[in-house]
Chain A
């Protein structure tokens, strides 16, 4: 039996971490500060709702459609918005504003789609939850098991892709130097398309978990985006591991810390949940602007080794 608070904290951390990974991928691989990460999550929420309510698909099978649907939206966004801008050599700030425009556009479309579902199919599309579609294993909510499994599976899969496969290594190279990568005969267009498929697919899959615990509506991303940015900033906008760690720290802190603090300060503090994320973001920017990625981990490991008197093995000649 897992306490409900811990369960919801972990699920929230999984959602935020997946979105933060996607946001970091967009920046590090295609140089696009992506403001739509959280809104891709909302797209996942509505794909899941559609498949559950209209086609009778279960909550977890619908995640497959969230993944594919989100990925397709990501690729379309890449071809219609990001690619033309990259082609004309837009600055990072211009790309940022363009994704902001895309975000506003997508939220409006989601609202229109929600209205359409309500009017045509009489489905509740605002302030809804999908908790009834979850399962339970010995007192542990299904969403806890599935979201955690998917999060770690994604992390392991991405790790393997980026370290063991040619296409993954080429994607890393694309992030470092696109021109040089192209000179090596790599088709950067395919890599960008693939990256943006992931940029859309990962948050959309994460979004599929959201309505199980939290009330959802088309503008839910307006607050989620703060936690996602905070995770990326804490991670340092550098690697997927830092983004995942940042997402977990923010997700857990935002849920557990606020709940703990409400015992002392009263329930009013629950409205300020995302302030934890905001605070972490500000502290990160001021104290260690390069985030977790920029922290001297090698030095720390050395110090820990010294404390425990571990001796480094002599290297072979």
Chain B
């Protein structure tokens, strides 16, 4: 069976959203060397905010009475009907949620990196963040007042108004996916522009110096704790937006979403495979891993006849093996890090010519 258009559209959405996660993670781990194992928490901050806020906000705006969680399906239906006829309100809701998701992610990044002020070792932070992240998801899964506990909650659809239109022969029912792709693409462009600019600036070189020699950087008068915290806050803010986009794309949020395997371990593997502190590698790592994951999911039924075990476990096996093999045999990834040039190659050539 050959994958159809739906497969590729879903893959594109996943690639765009996960690129936001991996590029921001690359800034934290690749450039600064922070072994952040709480990335799923940042995505969850945005995603769970989508489950908590927009529905309640719209219910308040539309004057809908009653307990939100009890009547969430009918409230979201009413909200979606309203949003379908109100593009401005939809865009405002989307922009507000993305902004708040970034804020929530950033605040969480700030909180998560506070132990740095105590001068703890970096691996301590990794261990602590992994544990905190499990706790974070558990709260959202069990505590009903937040996003409905184990039942989860539906999310209003700010892309619904696009279904009124049809462009380039795309059926109107698929137009919301076009909206998700465009919004994710815009957010990705902003995040990429910021991260690439940082990496090419003196700040980028400072972050690399910090990663390579923390004590040395401190000796040169830099406040390394402040740097760690700033990087974590910015990087978490970006991932928070990715979480919000994913929640809007799915239209439903539950505490089990934004789990540590999909949103922490896979992004770690993507960044490591591609190569640290290297955007080309990050993009290739993300695209190849996501394609592999989606293909495993797509060919699940076929794989059941081939594999001597359930294909459900294949993803984890592949992830584990790749993480270990890449670290052992290709620790610098497919595209090893190159020195960042302060000037473009062309400028350097011109200067050489002038001097020569």
By a beta-carbon cutoff of 8 Å, the part of chain A in contact with chain B is: 33, 35, 80-81, 84-85, 88, 90, 92-94, 96-98, 100-109, 111-112, 115-116, 222-223, 225-226, 229-230, 232-233, 237, 268, 271-272, 274-275, 277-278, 281-282, 285-286, 289
With contact pairs A84-B328, A97-B268, A286-B118 given, residues A112 and B309 touching in the complex (Cβ less than 8 Å)? yes
Which 3 pairs show the lowest CB-CB distances between chains A and B? A105-B320, A101-B323, A108-B316
Q: Are A278 and B118 in contact (CB under 8 A)?
A: no
CB atoms of B327 and A85 under 8 A apart = yes
- List which B87-110 residues lie within 8 A (CB) of chain A: none
Q: B35 an interface residue at 8 Å Cβ cutoff?
A: yes
* B-chain residues with CB within 8 Å of residue A115 when the two chains form the complex: 309-310
Q: Say whether B309 contacts A116, CB under 8 Å.
A: yes
14 A–B contacts from the bound complex (CB under 8 Å): A35-B130, A96-B123, A98-B327, A101-B319, A101-B322, A101-B323, A109-B317, A115-B310, A225-B131, A226-B134, A237-B124, A285-B115, A285-B118, A289-B118
Q: Which of A33, A84, A100, A105 has the most CB of B within 10 A?
A: A100
Which of chain B's residues has its CB closest to A99's CB? B324
Of A101, A104, A275, A281, the contact of B128 (CB 8 Å cutoff)? A281
Q: Which B residues, 293 to 327, have Cβ-Cβ distances below 8 Å to chain A?
A: 309-310, 312-313, 316-317, 319-324, 327
Q: Mark B25-39, 1 if CB is under 8 A from A, else 0.
A: 000000001010100
Flag if A271 contacts B142 (CB, 8 Å).
yes
Which residues 231-267 in B have Cβ within 8 Å of A in the complex?
261, 265
Contact B127 A33 (CB under 8 A): yes
B321→A105 contact, CB < 8 A: yes
CB pair A229–B309 under 8 Å, yes or no, is no
Name 5 extra pairs, CB < 8 A, besides A35-B130, A92-B123, A229-B127.
A97-B268, A101-B323, A104-B319, A226-B134, A233-B127
**B142 and A278 form a contact (CB under 8 A):** no
Pick the residue among B135, B310, B313, B328 that contacts A85 (CB under 8 A): B328
Chain A hits for B320, CB < 8 A: 101-106, 108
Residue contact B323 to A104, C-beta cutoff 8 Å: yes
A289 touches B316 (CB 8 A): no
In the complex, chain B residues whose CB is within 8 Å of the CB of A109 = 317
Is B331 among interface residues, defined by CB-CB distance under 8 A?
Answer: yes
Write out the residue numbers on chain B whose beta carbons fall within 8 Å of the beta carbon of A94.
Answer: 327, 331
- CB-defined contacts of A225 to chain B, threshold 8 Å: 130-131, 134
A93 to B36, CA, bound (A): 10
Closest residue of chain B to A268 (Cβ to Cβ) is B142
Checking B33, B134, B139 against A222 with a beta-carbon cut-off of 8 angstroms, the contacting residue is B134
**B227 touches A (CB below 8 Å):** no
Cα A102 to Cα B42 in complex, Å, equals 24
A109 to B122, alpha carbons, bound, how many Å? 30
Give the interface size class of chain B: 35 or more
Chain B positions within 8 Å of A222 at CB level:
134
Interface set of B (CB-CB < 8 Å, partner A):
33, 35, 37, 114-115, 118-120, 122-124, 126-128, 130-132, 134-135, 138-139, 142, 261, 265, 268-269, 272, 309-310, 312-313, 316-317, 319-324, 327-328, 331
**How long is the Cα–Cα vector from A226 to B233 in the complex, in angstroms?**
24
* Cβ contact within 8 Å between A226 and B135: yes
Q: Are A289 and B134 in contact (CB under 8 A)?
A: no
> For the complex, what is the distance from the CA of A102 to the CA of B316, rounded to whole Å?
10
Contact status A289-B323, CB under 8 Å:
no
On whether the beta carbons of A108 and B317 are closer than 8 Å, the reply is yes
Contact A93–B328 (Cβ < 8 Å): no
Main secondary structure on chain A at its contact with chain B?
A: helix
* Total A-B contacts with CB atoms under 8 angstroms apart: 131
Contact A97 B272 (CB under 8 A): yes
Contact A101/B131 with A233-B124, A289-B120 known, Cβ cut-off 8 Å: no
User: In the assembly, what is the distance between CA of A289 and CA of B35, in Å?
Assistant: 18
The complex places the Cα of A289 from the Cα of B328 at a distance, in Å, of: 31
Asked if B35 contacts A96 (CB within 8 A), the reply is yes
B54 to chain A minimum Cβ distance, whole angstroms, is 27
A136 to B132, CA, bound (A): 38
Tell me the smallest distance from the CB of B282 to a CB of chain A, in Å.
Answer: 16
CA distance A223 to B115 in the complex (A): 22
**Chain A residues, CB < 8 A from B142:** 268, 271-272
Question: Whole-angstrom distance from the CB of A125 to the nearest CB of chain B?
Answer: 13
Q: A93's contact among B35, B319, B321, by CB below 8 Å, is which?
A: B35
Known A107-B316, A278-B135: A289·B124 in contact at CB below 8 Å: yes
Q: Give A284's nearest chain B residue, CB to CB.
A: B128
Q: Which residues of A contact B324 (CB under 8 A)?
A: 80-81, 98, 101-102, 105
Q: Are A229 and B323 in contact (CB under 8 A)?
A: no
Which residue of chain B has its CB nearest to the CB of A116? B309
Residues in B neighbouring A84, C-beta threshold 8 A = 328
Rounded to whole angstroms, the CA-CA distance of A131 and B130 in the bound complex is 32
Q: Whole-angstrom distance from the CB of B264 to the nearest CB of chain A?
A: 9
**Given A222-B134, A229-B127, A289-B124: A90 and B327 interface contact (C-beta under 8 Å):** yes
- B135, A289: Cβ atoms closer than 8 Å: no
Chain A residues with CB below 8 A from B127, complex form: 33, 229, 232-233
In angstroms, Cα B124 to Cα A107, docked, is 23
Q: How far is the CB of B139 from chain A (nearest CB, A)?
A: 8
Q: Which residue of B lies closest to A106 (CB)?
A: B320
A247 CA to B218 CA in the complex, in Å?
A: 35
Q: Which of the residues B35, B132, B265 comes within 8 Å of A104, measured between beta carbons?
A: B265
Residue of A nearest to B260 (CB): A222
Q: Provide the bound-state CA to CA distance between A94 and B332, in Å.
A: 11
Q: Which of A92, A268, A271, A282 contacts B132 (CB 8 A)?
A: A282
CA distance in complex: A127, B203 (Å): 52
Contact across chains for A274 and B135 when beta carbons are under 8 A apart? yes
Complex CA gap A190/B269 in Å reads 31
Q: B331: which A residues are within 8 A, CB to CB?
A: 88, 90, 94
